[in-house]
Structure 1
Amino acid sequence: MSIPHVLVIPCSAQGHVIPFMAVSKCLIEHGVRVTFVNTDFIHRRVIDALADKDFLGDRIHLVSIPDGLGPGDDRNNFGILLEANFQVMPAKLEDLIRDIEEKEGPKITCLVADGNMGWALQVARKMNIPRAVFWPASAALWHWELAFQRIPIQHQMFQLALGMPTMNTAHLAWACVGDLAAQKTVFSLVVRNNKFLEVADWLICNSSPNFESAVLNFAPRILPVGPLLSSHWLESSAGYFWPEDSNCLKWLDQQPHKSVIYVAFGSFTVFYQIQFRELALGLELCNKPFLRVVRPDTTEEKDDAYPKGFKERISGRGKLVGWAPQQKVLAHASIACFVSHCGWNSTMEGASNGIPFLCWPYFTDQFLNETYISDMWRVGLRFKRDESGIIRRSEFKCKVDQLLDDVSFKIRSSDIKEKLAKVVDEGGESHKNFSDFIQWMKAL
């Protein structure tokens, strides 16, 4: 039997590339060869951030194609980015597949595309390649995006089925991109993309039946295979857009058990100056050790954004890094809680390590994930904002104290950790779904 050769293609965002790398690592562990397709722009960022340029070797072949945008275009504008992708990338992907099969071999056994990259399935269908879709966010978000046929006229809470979380229409993907014209553009892209997904042979997602049983019962074609956290690959930095600062792990080694507040807001969250400073002063007010990830573009302030004297006052107690090896951080015995933007990857990683959350969502599905964390699983707390929309330092300290003083959060977090470990072990539903997927692929 020949070795399956899978081509994977994620959407051009950190929260998509990382879970696609996790899928790729799992495929590798099952004896599958992987060609990983990024855009040229993202490919350069991934290569530049790799701690060991030769780490992946021949296990995962990293390649790239143009995304349709110029060097100075705004790639954070998803409407513009996705439309450019659709106009340019299908032909480039087809050329890449032909080039791989003509010059390198072996042929592509299967294409695994991001749920936002439905056009790639059309390319695979044209070339008679079997097709799978991997959705890196929650099954609930995917089901909702598949279900909507028109833009909601007004912002309102909704629930598609009993047992599913509620969500505000203002937090759907197309509602977070600017004015009504821009929203209509993105919505039309979503509808068109959903149509493309109909040709998929498999629909899998990085979720767990322990997390989303009601959604998965309501949408049985979506198969959970998560959480996809590959412990054998924790030493890899592959897929990240910024170089990791692993020195923070040595600092964590010196901290007491369950004492450190870990603060990280993913790859998109940007703070106004006043909020950035209130968070800093809140951490100082807590008088506990903390590790905070601060990307270079976290705030628009060009000079030192911290309050005067802050770094000197927290010296020894606080650690500031540009990017952290998050899975290793969350698995560290010194971590007490996770102040998070509630991106799905962070949600899965924190829950898989039994860490209680303080929820600070920024946009789109992060508010849905906050609902899961605080209302349904009850492993975290929300912050209250003042009349200006700011989370004040006193509110921050109050919620940190409440979370850490209430042992029930730790108990429920540990319970979820155990359940998630079982579902990916042999005999668990996610393990079985992924094994079935692999067997289907090997039989092609």
Structure 2
Amino acid sequence: MVSSEEVQVIMVSLALQGHMNPMLKLAKVLVSKGVHVTLATNDVARKRMLDSNISTNFISKNSPGRLTLEFFSDGLSHEFDRDKDTGTFLASLKANGPTNVSNLITDLKANGNQFSCLITSPFIPWVPGVATEHGIPCGVLWIQSSTVFSIYYHCIKSPNLFPSLENPNGIAKLPGMQELTVGDLPTFMLPISPPHFRLWVTEFVSVLNKVKWVLGNSVHELEEETVNSLALVRPIYPIGPLVSPILLGKEETIEGSVDMWRAQDYCIEWLKKQESSSVIYISFGSIIMSSENQIHSIATALKNIKRPFLWVVKASNSRKDEFPSGFLEEIKKEKWGLVVSWCPQEKVLMNRAVACFVTHCGWNSTLETVVAGVPVVAYPEWTDQPTNSKLLVDFFKIGVRMRNCGEEGLNVEEVERCIMEVIDGPGAMEMKRRAMELKEAAKKALEDGGSSNRNFDRFISEITGKPYINNV
């Protein structure tokens, strides 16, 4: 039985790396401020963590709050490939999730838990309805940029602001942001996207009337005009960057991780042996599977550039025959590069040896590279990645965009050009200066009196119903 004076929050997320990480990091911040958090996710996460020998237990160090994990069924077996058959997964989740999450909340309440707030990931739009049924005020942790939130909101509420979405070169003029082409927009709202993704955009915006708070994993100062314009129609409160404390130069207050794959930590030892600002880091996230063309072109370019590199290629996507003949044997013999199946990305980005990040531009990776002050080669593929690429290259001005060449796909010359432009090009020093400037702005936002810290305190004050006193 818990004390009636304890402030408790339940969070609901999907068991996807890019969803769980920001939710867990939000949970850790809340715990550091004295809030008790229950993080619930579909139970395939438990199996993945157990299979990878990753602990599901969390230990608080010098934190007044606590964090626990709970699991619910999405109606599918653990063996079902949710990444490959997203449509079936989302349909099963929509059919089974509301009842199972509701039953979980009922059981937790029966054990003495009283929740002041439910915080959900935006990609399960039925959760606010469950919160309403239980009389729990609902918040959404928006895990993408404020810019993407604004695009989706206006897409449904003010479709006249957009040109024909069939024309990739059409121009969208939205409040609080520079002009965007259709090709810069999130793919989920485009005609080429599967129907279940376009339906999600509509469902998410339509359910916002049941949501009291939209907390954004961003920094006000990074997207100031967009955030200010949203205040007039649907306020969003940036509380980011939600990154690990170690990336901010602080100690972790909670031990434990929900990474879905075992990281190969020996890459950190390898990085320590490299010269400062010498290593090209390449990773396209936890979902995207690189094509044979992409692997071959990147490998050939790295061989031609002959600079140290650390390349993450998922184990299921690293068949030896996809690399140029002799490539893996040569880098192993010469020790000038490292190919791994997964790595602790934040530790990599904060290492002095990293010169640039070749990235798919997922929002978590975008924030991590901003906080680390590392310039980028942006190579987006889907969802919010094209918009994040636009932010990184044209708004933040800390990188260049790498593009496919028609039906040929990614060619070697394009990879070489982009990497060398960021490392040694005429604009490289300015990109690095700008990256360091944004790094300081992001860190400052989380400090006492910073914009994100103020938004955190405001949120906690509202869910507790009394002024929040920071005694940590």
1:267-313, CA deviations, whole angstroms, 9 ceiling, x for partnerless residues?
Answer: 122222122111111112111111111112336xx554222111222
Shift of 1:88: 1.0
Q: What's 1:216 paired with?
A: 227
CA deviation after TM superposition for structure 1 residue 171, in Å: 4.7
**Which runs of structure 2 are paired with 1:1-400 in the superposition (5 Å)?**
2-49=5-52, 51-52=54-55, 54-56=57-59, 59-71=66-78, 73-76=80-83, 77-103=85-111, 105-149=112-156, 154-155=166-167, 156-164=170-178, 166-168=180-182, 171-175=185-189, 182-183=194-195, 185-220=196-231, 221-231=235-245, 232-233=251-252, 238-298=257-317, 302-315=319-332, 316-400=335-419
Structure 2 residue aligned with 1:410 = 432
CA RMSD, 1 decimal: 2.4
| Residues 123 and 55 of structure 1: CA distance in aligned 2, closer, same or farther (over 3 Å) | closer
Distance 1:386 1:411, change over 3 A: same
Letter of the structure 2 residue corresponding to residue 154 of structure 1: E
**Equivalent position of 1:427 in the other structure:** 449
The CA distance in 2 between the partners of 1:389 and 1:412, in whole Å, is: 33
Per-residue CA deviations over 1:366-386 (Å, capped at 9, x if unaligned) read: 010110111111100112432
| Separation (CA, whole Å) in 1 of partners of 2:254 and 2:336 | 26
Check conservation: 1:115, 1:135, Cα contact below 8 A. Answer: yes
Task: Give the Å deviation of 1:56.
Answer: 4.0
Shift of 1:397: 1.8
Shift of 1:5: 1.4
What letter is aligned with 2:215?
A: I
With structure 2 as the length reference, what TM-score do the two structures score? Answer: 0.86
**Cα pair 2:165 2:182 within 8 Å, conserved:** no
Deviations 1:356-402 (A, max 9, x none): 00011121210101101111111001124323242222222222221
Aligned 8 A contact 1:361 1:370 in 2: yes
Q: Which shifted more, 302-311 or 372-381?
A: 302-311
The alpha-carbon distance between structure 1 residues 71 and 43, as it changes in their structure 2 partners (threshold 3 A), is closer
TM-score when scaled to structure 1? 0.92
* Residue identity in the other structure for 2:261: W
Q: Can you list the C-alpha shifts for 1:78-135, whole angstroms capped at 9, x where unaligned?
A: 44333322211111111001111213x2222211011222211111111111211110
Counterpart amino acid of residue 191 in structure 1 = T
How far the C-alpha of 1:325 sits from its partner, in A, is: 0.7
Which whole-Å CA distance do the structure 1 matches of 2:229 and 2:165 have between them? 25
- Looking at structure 2, the residues matched to 361 and 133 of structure 1 have their Cα atoms a distance apart, in angstroms, of 25
CA shift, 1:437, in A, is: 1.0
Change (3 A) 1:176 1:307: farther
Unaligned runs of 5+ in 2: 246-250, 467-472
% identical aligned pairs: 28
Structure-1 separation of matches of 2:406 and 2:416? 18
Q: How many residues align?
A: 438
> Structure 2: how far apart are the matches of 1:177 and 1:100?
42
CA distance in 1, matches of 2:256, 2:341: 14
Asked whether the equivalents of residues 10 and 115 of structure 2 are also in contact (C-alpha less than 8 Å), the reply is yes
**Aligned partner of 1:210: which letter?**
E
Amino acid at match of 2:230: A
SS in 1 for 2:322: coil
Paired residues of 2:49 and 2:56 also in contact (CA < 8 A):
no
- 2:469 is matched with which residue? none
Q: Out of 457, 464, 468, which is 1:442 matched to?
A: 464
Gaps (5+ residues) in structure 1? none
